[in-house]
Amino acid sequence: MKSISIRRLSYINAHLAVLVVSCVILGAFGVQFVGKEYPCPLCYLQRMAMILAVLGPARMISIGRRKGCVDTYAFSTGFGMTVLASILGAAISIRQILLHIAPGDPGYGSPVFGLHLYTWALFVFVALLIDAGLHLTFIREDVPLVPLTPKLLSKLVVWLFLLVVAANAIAVFVQTGFHWFLLDDPTGYRLFQ
């Protein structure tokens, strides 16, 4: 009985992880478009790592919505993808933090609540790592899952995630234009220049 509640909690948590990361990326869009701060290549890599980190949970949600249950394989691969992508994203965030760690360096972009976005990204990746590790630790093989969330909610969460992925791809294209590389210190949208 205990395993069933852990499975349900993990399934609900997959929804929360996808929603939180989608909101974080939407917040980054707010800084980009409202604050008129152009993301650098490392910023985009961190966004892509966040997308990859919740791709597994989004897949779990889709499986649960279609089949009505999620097996251990889907859980382990979903949270395993989260672990791998979060390690990659944390490494990218640490790289960017180390680029701006020298005394007197103002950092890249304006701080949000006292920290730069790449520092907040590191916190997101560490939280995703801890979360996925806990769920992988407590998943048992012998208990199937019956999702608690309504199918409409699951569908909305996945569609929001897909819209964020598409918006990120469009933002990269608009900023890069038809050039092969994104500038290290972008000053505008190259598609329009």
**Its pTM surpasses 0.85:** yes
Q: How far apart are CA 63 and CA 150, in angstroms?
A: 13
Q: How far apart are CA 92 and CA 109, in angstroms?
A: 16
Q: How far apart are CA 9 and CA 70, in angstroms?
A: 12
Q: How many domains does the chain have?
A: 1
Answer yes or no: is pLDDT of 149 > 70.
no
pLDDT digits (tens, 9 = 90+) for 28-42: 999 999 988 999 999
Concatenated DSSP letters for 14-40? HHHHHHHHHHHHHHHHHHHHTS--PPP
Q: How far apart are CA 30 and CA 165, in angstroms?
A: 15
Q: What is the largest CA-CA distance in the chain?
A: 61
CB 11 within 8 A of CB 148: yes
Whole-number pLDDT of residue 102: 87
Question: Which one-letter amino acid corresponds to residue 45?
Answer: L
CB 53 within 8 A of CB 117: no
pLDDT digits (tens, 9 = 90+) for 87-122: 999 999 999 999 998 888 888 888 889 899 999 999
Whole-number pLDDT of residue 48: 96
Top pLDDT among 174 and 187 is at 174
**pLDDT, mean over the chain:** 88
Answer yes or no: is pLDDT of 145 > 90.
no
Domain that holds residue 110: 2-192
